[in-house]
Structure 1
Amino acid sequence: MELLVIGIKIFIFISTLNVWLFRFKKKTPYRGSSSNSMREEFAAYGLSESIMYLVGGLKIASALGLILSIWFSWITPYAAGLMAVLMLGAIFMHLKINDPLKKSFPAFLFLVLSLFLIVVHLF
């Protein structure tokens, strides 16, 4: 079980950095509306650039927290909890603009994985 938990933490970390640092200006099949970049996606949600950077910073902080939690397990519920809240927000934004459910899949997957990490940590 420990290896599975570590694998999930690494997966969320790498995926989050990929989206927010390497694919920030690129189109992906999961971007909201028909956006070609993170800026366009947040504009489609009706959110400002400041909110975009706040959300991105929080997601990266959460992902870093998950990596640190490999060695300091007490961080797990905080980092995973923050990620879960952010993923709920992402799902809500996709629903708000009537995106197809497929576009919410990564957020839903990260929500489930984050909740799994919390449950495993607590029990």
Structure 2
Amino acid sequence: MNYVIIACQIIVGLSILNVWLIQYKKETKWRGGNAKTIVEEFKVYGLSETMYYIVGFLKVTLAILLIVGIWVPVLTQPAALGLAVLLLGSIVMHFKIKDPLFKSFPAALFLTLCLVIAFM
């Protein structure tokens, strides 16, 4: 089971880092509304650019801590729970703007994985 949790930590951590550090300016089918970038997505949600930087900093930091948690286990649960809260916020924002349900899928999947990581 330990290897499954480690795999989940790597998958979630690297995926979030990919979205926020590599794919942030690229259009994907998962973006809220008709947004083409993460900054546009935050605007669609009615959130400020400042909120974009705050959420981005938190997600990147927590994703790194989740990966570091493989070697420093005390970091794993707080990082997973912090990401879970932010991912729940992502889902709420998709519902707020009445996005099709499939656009919430990545956030819901990673929320589930974070909860598995935190409580297993």
TM-score normalised by structure 2 residue count:
0.98
Provide Cα deviations, 1:90-121, integer angstroms capped at 9, x if missing partner. 0000000000010000100111000001111x
Corresponding residue SS for 2:27: coil
Please list every run of 5 or more consecutive structure 2 residues that lacks an aligned counterpart in the other structure.
none
Amino acid at match of 1:38: I
> Percent identity over the alignment?
48
| CA displacement at 1:3 relative to structure 2 | 1.0
Q: In the alignment, which residue of structure 2 is the partner of 1:61?
A: 61
| Equivalences, count | 120
Query: Is 2:53 aligned against 1:28?
Result: no
Provide Cα deviations, 1:6-59, integer angstroms capped at 9, x if missing partner. 111111111111100111111101000011111110000000111001101100
Q: In the alignment, which residue of structure 2 is the partner of 1:13?
A: 13
User: Which structure is richer in relative contact order (CA contacts within 8 A, separation 6 or more)?
Assistant: 2
Alpha-carbon distance in structure 1 between the residues aligned to 2:38 and 2:119:
31
RMSD of the alignment, in Å? Answer: 0.6
Matches within 5 A, 1:1-123: 1-120=1-120
Alpha-carbon distance in structure 2 between the residues aligned to 1:114 and 1:23:
21
Corresponding residue SS for 1:32: coil
Amino acid at match of 2:112: V
Corresponding residue SS for 2:107: helix
Amino acid at match of 2:59: K
- Stretches of 4+ moved more than 4 A in 1? none
Alpha-carbon distance in structure 1 between the residues aligned to 2:76 and 2:66:
6
| CA displacement at 1:77 relative to structure 2 | 1.1
Amino acid at match of 2:53: Y
Alpha-carbon distance in structure 1 between the residues aligned to 2:13 and 2:19:
10
Corresponding residue SS for 1:20: helix
